[in-house]
Amino acid sequence: DTGVSQNPRHKITKRGQNVTFRCDPISEHNRLYWYRQTLGQGPEFLTYFQNEAQLEKSRLLSDRFSAERPKGSFSTLEIQRTEQGDSAMYLCASSTPNQPQHFGDGTRLSIL
């Protein structure tokens, strides 16, 4: 059990650029979640997958955001045309159904 892995750990980009983050869940976990956390706040839910199916999306997830989990293993979160307000820590978590979620180390996004 190597835990949830996220890459990159840090991403600095200019406003208007596209960015993509990757999450590798714990191997036996079929559920994968994305959250966003800004300074002084708790994590906010963005979306989650059960295997390759995306089952729920938050209204926080604007049209510029897209997430995939093509083979039910790793997942990617892409943000197009980044804005200043996208600066945050993006957290991935995984679990099996009805079990606690375990988080990766996160990807910190900074928009210049």
Residues making contact with other proteins (CB under 8 A) = 31, 33, 35, 40-45, 48, 55-56, 58, 89, 91, 93, 97-98, 100-106
Residue 112 structure tokens: 């210049």
Least distance to other proteins, CB of residue 15, Å: 24
Three-state secondary structure call for residue 30 = coil
Least distance to other proteins, CB of residue 103, Å: 5
Least distance to other proteins, CB of residue 77, Å: 15
Instruction: Give whichever of 42 and 70 is closer to other proteins, judged by the CB atom.
Output: 42
List Cβ neighbours of 79 (8 Å cut-off, separation of 6 or more). Answer: 18, 19, 20, 64, 65, 86, 109
Instruction: Give whichever of 19 and 46 is closer to other proteins, judged by the CB atom.
Output: 46
